[in-house]
Structure 1
Amino acid sequence: MRASAFLAPVLATLLLAGCVSQPTRAPQVLVDEARAQAQDQVRANLRDWSLSGRIAVSNGKQGGSGRIDWQQSNDRFTVSLSAPVTRQSWRLSGDDRGARLEGIEGGPRASDDVEAMLVQTTGWNIPVRALADWVRGVGADADRYGPAQIVYGAGDRPVRLVQAGWTIDYAEWQVEPAEPASTPVLPARLTATRGEAKVRLIVDTWSPGETP
């Protein structure tokens, strides 16, 4: 089954509203540049993590939404998407050398270009490998994607990141603990946009591994 066929098209009602760049100040926000860079580095060092939440994707003509569970270990990833209403799901797993997509019509597909494979099989433009960094609020590999431009706001955290033609807006971050924590504060809600392609993500649960 084509993946876009089972992702429930409820964008209108869904409750979704690498490299460390030199900090750029958001309007009327005083940014501590040293603190911003230090926080970026801590998040960049987080290479093993998992998240659970809600995702919505659209391509200008069609849209869909569902649940997402993402496990990441260095460059190795496993992303599971499911649509509770239709009870359909698919699973993407791979690394920098390639990926395998399961749960689609015609049987599993494999390719060394995961993003192109997703467009061909699902119709969705989802920058999976770069998103693994962007979802943590840091730029992706500059050698592959070019430099990241980051605008910082409250808490000296990114409010916008622009890289490889994509614009990532961070609408919400986790609540900062009252006491110092051993793991970084991570994004809770973000939207990645390039042209008509849009990926919206709400993270309900982060499970970060240990940072070096």
Structure 2
Amino acid sequence: MYVINVLQANYNLEDLNEESLTYVNRLLGERYKQWKSDLHHHFQTFDDPEVALREGCPQELEGREDSWAWLCSHFQEGGYLKAAQANKGNRNKKTLLHHSGSRPFSYRMDARRREGSKFPEIDVFGDVYVRPGNELAESLYTTMVEKSQLVLQESASQLPPDTPLESVDPPHDAGFQILTETLDQTLGRRPGTYCRGMGNARRRESRARSASRSNGR
């Protein structure tokens, strides 16, 4: 709520279109969950909850010790512990495990775009999933890179023959399409709009909505 109030005080959120508002809401949700998760990890560094309450208030909550007291109580509730355990179990079931730490995928992709990446989704996949000994992730990444080169070559074939490949821009969302198609073909598509390998950085449209658009056209 504090973040939302700050945004409303400094920006006119009423002028945002639906797509932008959805992005802002998703971004705030990601930041809140990560902030809460970081505080929970900090709480867990103390062996005794009473010590955590008395001595563990993080610097960002100084002056708002009542908020830290509420969090300490919240982290010990049965519902929260059950949800945390379920999340841990779900992570153990994952075919692909990312190594991105606490930095959201959306931040990584924005950084890659600023660096001039033609396929930021594929580059981020390589950054966070490919590790020595992970043959599946390495194989998937190699396939994506090969497909991206084919896309660039196809785009270059429609330009003057002396056009260097480095200056060729791929079609919009080509990296996203390559990533999702490669993962779907290898691991199967998950139901809903969730995109495997993208964290919460991107969601695809539901089949029903895509079909309605196609019918409309």
> Would the TM-score normalized by the shorter structure come out above 0.5?
no
Q: Which structure exhibits the higher relative contact order, with contacts defined as CA atoms closer than 8 Å and separated by 6 or more residues?
A: 1
| TM-score, structure 2 normalization | 0.24
Query: Which has more strand, going by share of residues?
Result: 1
| TM-score, structure 1 normalization | 0.24
Query: Which has the larger Rg?
Result: 2
Query: Which has more helix, going by share of residues?
Result: 2
